[in-house]
Amino acid sequence: MRITIFGSGYVGLVTGACFAEVGNDVLCVDVDPRKVALLQQGEIPIHEPGLDELVRRNGASGRLRFTTEVAEGVAHGLFQFIAVGTPPDEDGSADLQHVRAVARSIGQHLEEYRVVVNKSTVPVGTADVVRETIAAALAERGRDVPFSVVSNPEFLKEGAAIQDFMRPDRIIVGCDDHRATGPLRNLYGPFNRNHDRLIEMDVRSAELTKYAANAMLATKISFMNEMANLAERLGADIEKVRVGIGADPRIGYHFIYPGAGYGGSCFPKDVKALEYTARSVNYEAALLQAVETVNERQKNVLFAKIQRHFKGELRGRTFALWGLAFKPGTDDMREAPSRNLLEALWREGCTVRAYDPAAMEETRRLYGDRSDLRLCTQPLDVLPGADALIIVTEWSLFRSPDFAAIRQQLQQPLIFDGRNLYDPEYLREQGFVYYAIGRGEQS
C-alpha cells in the first residue's frame, strides 16, 4: 500500500519504517530540509534501538523515502498519516498548530479520496478540527473531494518502539466513516495475524483512549511513589510491598516501581492535556491533579535526601551521577528527574560529574559547556573524589557494578539510589551508607 506520513519525528519515523518493513511504499514529509537530508543519507536524528537499521534497510530498498514536498506527499498515499508534535501550551492544553497546518496542506492539494489518519496524540474533538480544516481548504479551491478522518493513536514505548509497532498489544481505530475501516484493516493485517488486535470504535472514544491509557500508567507510578514515601515514614520496605500487591492479578507488576518520578514526552504532557480537557467541560479532574502534584514532588525527593544527609552544607561538593535520560533505552531528557536534580545541586554551588549511555549529547545541547558539569565517557570515571554516587536512571549496566571500586574511589561510601537497584542489606555489609526510595530513611 502507498502511505504518506507527515512528520519525521519519533512517532512518524517509527511508523514509516515499520510500515515499509512489511512491504508498503512509504513517503515521509517533513518541513525541515536539514532533517530530510540527514534521513535521505540514512542518518537518524533520534535514539531508538533498532530504528537506524530499519530506516537504512528500507531506504536502500526504495520502500521508505523522505521529502519536503507537501504536494508530492498528498498525491502519493491513500493513507495520509498526521504524526506531528502537539507540545503543551502554557495552560496545559495541546498545541494543535502543526496538526492544523498539515490538515490545511492536505486540503490545498487533495485531488482524490484519501484516508487522513491522526497518529499524533491529540485532544478529543481533534478529528472534527482536521475535517473542518480540510473541508475549508477544499472550499477555497472550489473543490469537492471525498476524504475520511480516522483516529489511530500510537502506543509506542521509547526504547521498545519497534517491537511495540511490529507486535502491538492493540490497534485502536476510531472511525465514523465505514469507507475507511476496510482499507485500515488491510493496512494493519501484517501486524494482526496471531489474533485480532484491532479494536474499532468511534473517533472521540479513540482519541480519549490514548490519553486515558497514559493517565492510568502515570497514576500507577504516582500511587507507588506516594506509598513509598509513606513506607519510609512507617519503617516499611516498599519493595516488599510492591511484590505483595503485584501478586494480585487485578493489580499486576507493571508500572508499580517507585522511583524519582516520571518524565518524558508523553506522561507529563498528556496528564496536563487531559486535565485541561476536563476543565474545558467544567469538570474538575481531582485525581489527575493529584497524580501531577505527587510526581512533581517526587522529582525533588533525591535532592531532599542529599540535603538532609549533608545538613544543608552542599556548596563546593562534587557528586557523581549515573543516568540522565528520563528512562533507559532513550536519549530523551524532556521532563527528566535528572534535570530537577542537576539544577537543584547547581543552585547550591555543587559540581556534578555525570554519565549516561545515550543522553550525553542531549545534555550538552540542553546545558552547554559549564564549569559545574563534567560529562564522563565511562561509568566509573564519575567517581574519583566525589562526595556521593547518585543513581537517577535504571540502565541495566548500573545494576551490578563493582562496589569495591565505587567504595575505593568515592570520598566516602555513600549512595543515593533513585531507582531502588540494590539490596540495602548487602550494601550495608559492604560498608555503604545507602539511601533509596521507600526503604527507610537510611536503608
Report, as residue numbers or ranges, the catalytic residues.
266
Give the count of beta carbons closer than 10 Å to the beta carbon of residue 100: 17
Distances (CA, A) of 32 to 9, 66, 218: 11, 11, 32
Strand partners, 116: 80, 149
Helix axes 286-298, 203-234, angle to 10 degrees: 50
Find the Cα–Cα–Cα–Cα dihedral 62, 63, 64, 67, rounded to 10°: 70
Q: Provide the sign of the torsion angle of the four alpha carbons 431, 437, 441, 443, taken in this order.
A: negative
Whole-angstrom Cα distance, residue 176 to residue 144?
19
Distances (CA, A) of 18 to 80, 122, 162, 206, 327: 16, 22, 7, 22, 23
3-class SS shares of the chain: helix, strand, coil, % to 5:
45, 15, 40
88: which DSSP letter? Answer: B
Specify the amino acid at residue 271: V
